[in-house]
Copies of this chain bind each other. A is one copy, B any other.
């Protein structure tokens, strides 16, 4: 067996999945041992000696797939969504029975998006004001984006923990909607523009200065470095890890 990390992709026919297949193939330290699509047998994972499974299927399939992986000691990097407290509890139960296996679930594999959230939360306590602007293509059906809502929640939590005062805002007369949506006290604005993909900006302001952290996602290939980084690290991180930020060295 080569010294390369043996990686399988589940959901290999999807938009992100097919990109992941190519990314694993292109990674010098990895070997793609299986690319499963709907209907393929999970036994292939064991037969090909997969060490890490990249799980990019659907909420309907993910639990069965992870059950198989954990029983066979195959680590997993999971991009599939739909995680409830019940599901997480069940997953932790399975992992308790396989103490050397690691599972990484990440709502977002873009390193830039993860760093934006992390930095925004770290900086938020040092500025009087903070607002979030997210910008997406006009075919998006929800506003604000899940990432923007999560970012605002993390900011609000960090400010609450640090005992920050409410944000200053003298607005007395406003057009409806002008000041954005209120997410735990943090204004969030959603822009929809043809030509854009997915972008987010966190603006922080204090006496005489502002700090702006902006993430531009220009292609869904931006998830690949995070998926590969997750695959490399999950094998040596037993148990459940939630969020890619836990695998970034920000010391």
Q: Which residues of A contact B (CB under 8 A)?
A: 110-113, 115-116, 119, 122-123, 125-131, 133, 135, 138-144, 149, 162, 167-183, 187-197, 203-225, 229, 248-250
Contact = CB atoms under 8 A, between A and B. Distances in A.
A219 B220 CA distance: 14
A48 to B, nearest CB: 27
B192 A171 contact: yes
Given A112-B211, A193-B205, A209-B217, 16 more contacts: A111-B209, A125-B249, A127-B194, A129-B138, A141-B170, A142-B173, A167-B192, A175-B182, A175-B183, A175-B188, A206-B222, A207-B221, A207-B225, A210-B216, A211-B216, A214-B214
A111 B138 contact: no
Copies in the complex: 4
Nearest to A219: B208
Nearest to A138: B168
Given A138-B168, A207-B222, A143 B212 contact: no
Given A138-B129, A195-B129, A215 B207 contact: no
B112 A209 contact: yes
Top 7 A-B residue pairs of the complex, sorted by shortest distance between their CB atoms: A208-B222, A193-B205, A208-B219, A209-B222, A175-B181, A195-B205, A208-B221
Contacts of A206: 111-112, 194-195, 222, 225
B194 A128 contact: yes
Nearest to A191: B131
A135 B181 CA distance: 16
Residue of A142, A190, A207, A212 ringed by the most chain B CB atoms within 10 A: A207
A180 B183 contact: no
A218 B213 contact: no
A171 B143 contact: yes
A165 to B, nearest CB: 11
28 contacts: A112-B210, A119-B213, A126-B225, A126-B229, A126-B248, A127-B194, A133-B133, A133-B189, A141-B171, A142-B171, A142-B173, A142-B174, A144-B175, A144-B178, A162-B249, A167-B192, A171-B192, A178-B188, A179-B192, A180-B180, A180-B189, A189-B191, A194-B207, A195-B210, A195-B216, A208-B219, A209-B219, A210-B215
